[in-house]
């Protein structure tokens, strides 16, 4: 069935073309949003007396029955319909008769699909936020458990300064928090009802767009009908929020892969989140982390592909926009399982504490602390930096570490400095970093509590945003 056959010389135009342009298989995924949008529209038509109250009730009852049947039985193996709308309208005709033809009064498929897909994307954003918050919960749980764990802070993949492991975990928690800000912006962009815009120019009926918008849970109604039917900014913003989340996951996955490697051996991945080799029996591979890293390439491809679709489209609706469904669905199917599985891997990660401390103490990691100590004697930081560099070069040439720094050696490079005041152990280094964003335990403990508070508030916010599709 098509919804536009009258203009054409055949009721079955272009079998190949119809198969190519059909979106029915994709559309099935948001049938509940589609039916909710139609119920809201039928209700509005009745309230504004565009159709009678009885006709409105008949349409809504039929739509609810279709929804109930699809909920329980799913879709038949029938792909003769060009899209979900033709399928539902066909079923509605069979249930309620000719009055089904009145459902499309004051509505185009253009504003219909824009409305229904906004509903779906709002739900998709809420699902993404839920998974992000679950991962934040795992991060904070591990941070609490490892609140005193010394860990190497690195730059250029070289040991740089000792930090607390929770400080590193909280860095990723901050990234996820920003991802939620992007998701929130995408949600607000999607939270605008285009219903009532018609094909592009509005409709000549005395509709009340606020009625259908309120029923569907939209906070606003679109102000421009041309923009309303062609806008897919809400899709691109969702894709961007999801892609940034994936990029942050990829960064974290890379770290875990490095930590898990034998040269570092800072962590051990649980057997349930690793795989083996078909030829090397000793191998235990971090495949969950590696595949999470790889999925980010897919995510970037989806987003850039859809942006390319949009870049040259004239107003108003073009069938190119049908590609938004696959972009969103593939994004969800790629990212949500990745977050969930990654969170499971993280929650079961074993930290090798002694090795982490050993690595954190290597590579002259407290050299900056020695420079800071020299500054306290009145030396400029530039001079202190140079002096400590010379000390490191001297010790390195003798295959020694800062632990072996003697009073005589210090005096030969920095005469008059009291050796007894120098503290170069990792605990002293970490405790000294008390600046607002620093790694000192007093800071980290406070940062964990602040993150927990924000997490609770954010869960509450998104808990209110689950779309109500049971009209």
Q: Give the number of other CB atoms < 10 A from CB of residue 240.
A: 17
Element (H, E) at 158: strand 158-164
Q: What is the CA radius of gyration of the chain?
A: 30
Q: Are 326 and 318 in contact (CB under 8 A)?
A: no
* 383 Cβ neighbours under 8 A, 6+ residues apart: 374
Q: Are 136 and 173 in contact (CB under 8 A)?
A: yes
413 burial (CB, 10 Å; 0-12 / 13-18 / 19+) is middle
C-alpha distances in Å from residue 160, one per residue of 68, 208, 266, 361, 384: 61, 63, 16, 10, 17
Residue indicated by tokens 């170069």? 424
Rounded-to-integer distance, Cα 69 and Cα 128, Å = 28
For the chain, report the end-to-end CA distance as a whole number of angstroms. 26
Beta bridge partners of 158: 155
DSSP secondary structure letters along 303-362: HHHHHHHHTTPPSS--GGGGHHHHHHHHHHHHHHHHHHHHHHHHHTPEE-HHHHHHHHTS
Q: Give the number of other CB atoms < 10 A from CB of residue 173.
A: 22
Rounded-to-integer distance, Cα 12 and Cα 173, Å = 55
Catalytic residue, from 68, 219, 261, 277: name it: 277
156 is catalytic: yes
Catalytic residue, from 156, 272, 278, 397: name it: 156
Rounded-to-integer distance, Cα 38 and Cα 109, Å = 11
* 465 Cβ neighbours under 8 A, 6+ residues apart: 122, 125, 126, 129, 187
Rounded-to-integer distance, Cα 311 and Cα 288, Å = 35
* 235 Cβ neighbours under 8 A, 6+ residues apart: 117, 121, 306, 324, 327, 328
Residue 25 C-beta-side C-alpha neighbours within 13 Å: 9
Sign of CA dihedral 95, 100, 103, 104: positive
353 is catalytic: no
Residue positions annotated with a catalytic role: 156, 277
């Amino acid at each position: 069935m098509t919804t536009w056959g009258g203009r054409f010389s055949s009721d079955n135009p272009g079998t190949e073309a119809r198969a190519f342009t059909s979106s029915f298989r994709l559309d099935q995924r948001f049938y509940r949003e589609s039916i909710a949008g139609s119920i809201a529209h039928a209700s509005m038509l009745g309230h504004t007396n565009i159709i009678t109250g009885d006709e409105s009730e008949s349409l809504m009852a039929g739509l609810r029955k279709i929804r109930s049947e699809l909920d329980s039985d799913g879709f038949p193996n029938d792909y003769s319909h060009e899209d979900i709308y033709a399928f539902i309208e066909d079923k509605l005709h069979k249930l309620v008769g000719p009055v089904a033809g009145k459902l499309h009064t004051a509505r185009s498929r253009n504003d219909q699909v824009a409305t229904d897909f906004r509903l779906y994307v709002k739900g998709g954003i809420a699902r993404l936020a839920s998974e992000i918050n679950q991962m934040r919960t795992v991060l904070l749980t591990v941070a609490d458990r490892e609140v005193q764990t010394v860990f190497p802070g690195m730059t250029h993949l070289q040991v740089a300064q000792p930090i607390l492991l929770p400080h590193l975990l909280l860095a990723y928690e901050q990234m996820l928090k920003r991802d939620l800000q992007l998701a929130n912006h995408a949600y607000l962009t999607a939270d605008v009802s285009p219903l009532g815009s018609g094909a592009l120019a509005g409709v000549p009926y005395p509709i009340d767009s606020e009625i259908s918008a309120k029923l569907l849970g939209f906070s606003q109604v679109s102000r421009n009908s041309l923009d309303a039917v062609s806008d897919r900014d809400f899709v691109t913003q969702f894709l961007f929020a999801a892609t940034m989340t994936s990029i942050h996951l990829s960064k974290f996955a890379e770290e875990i892969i490095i930590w898990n490697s034998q040269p570092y051996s800072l962590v051990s991945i649980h057997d349930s989140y690793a795989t083996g080799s078909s030829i090397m029996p000793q191998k235990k591979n971090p495949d969950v982390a590696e595949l999470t890293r790889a999925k980010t390439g897919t995510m970037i491809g989806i987003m850039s592909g859809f942006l390319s679709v949009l870049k040259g489209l004239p107003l108003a609706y073009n069938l190119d926009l049908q590609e938004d469904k696959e972009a969103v669905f593939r994004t969800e199917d790629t990212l949500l399982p990745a977050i969930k599985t990654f969170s499971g891997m993280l929650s079961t990660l074993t930290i090798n504490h002694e090795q982490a401390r050993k690595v954190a103490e290597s590579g002259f990691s407290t050299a900056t602390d020695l420079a800071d100590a020299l500054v306290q004697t009145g030396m400029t930081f530039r001079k202190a930096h140079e002096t400590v560099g010379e000390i490191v070069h001297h010790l390195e040439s003798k295959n020694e570490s800062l632990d072996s720094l003697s009073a005589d050696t210090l005096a030969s490079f920095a005469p008059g400095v009291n050796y007894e005041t120098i503290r170069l152990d990792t605990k002293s280094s970490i405790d000294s970093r008390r600046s607002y964003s620093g790694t000192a335990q007093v800071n980290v403990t406070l940062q964990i509590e602040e993150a927990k508070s924000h997490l609770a508030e954010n869960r509450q916010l998104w808990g209110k945003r689950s779309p109500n599709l049971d009209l």
